[in-house]
Amino acid sequence: MPKVSDEEWRLLDRAADITGIISRLIEDKEPGRYRFEWTYKHERKEIADICRQFQASEVPELQTVGLRIDRLVDAVIDTDRVFNTYEPTSRTARKQRQAIAEEGEKLEAAIAKFRNTVEKEAV
């Protein structure tokens, strides 16, 4: 497995900071009021750049992490759109709530797999 560069580690730390912002948004605000795309314009651009760099990495597990972060951000943005279009009790809104939870779980699993792989390589 190719080594993870210092730059990739730095980007991973920054991605963790931004996904922390997303987690707090999901916990603190009602669906449809996240406004991530508008409130965090700089972070949105930065996380898109980080995801592209991860997906271009030679480390397959890091590529997966990049994809999962990208999909979580898309789910947060879609949630605003869905909840501003449909009633919160609608089937579409419930499915979107489920989608955002699933993307969060998939991201956590991808990060755990990445950490396990890197730790095994370091030993």
pLDDT tens, position by position, 56-70: 999 899 999 999 999
Q: Is the dihedral of CA 46, 48, 51, 57 positive or negative?
A: negative
Does residue 82 sit in helix, strand or coil? helix
Query: How many domains would you assign to the chain?
Result: 1
Within a domain: 121: no
| Positive or negative: CA dihedral 58, 41, 115, 9 | positive
Residues 23 and 92: their CA atoms lie apart, in Å, by: 21
Domain with 80 in it? 6-116
How far apart, in Å, are the Cα atoms of 72 and each of 47, 64, 68, 98?
A: 11, 12, 6, 12
| Domain membership flag for residue 123 | no
pLDDT of residue 119: 64
Q: What is the pTM of this model?
A: 0.87
How many alpha carbons fall within 13 Å on the CB side of residue 103?
A: 24
Q: Residue 22 falls within a domain, yes or no?
A: yes
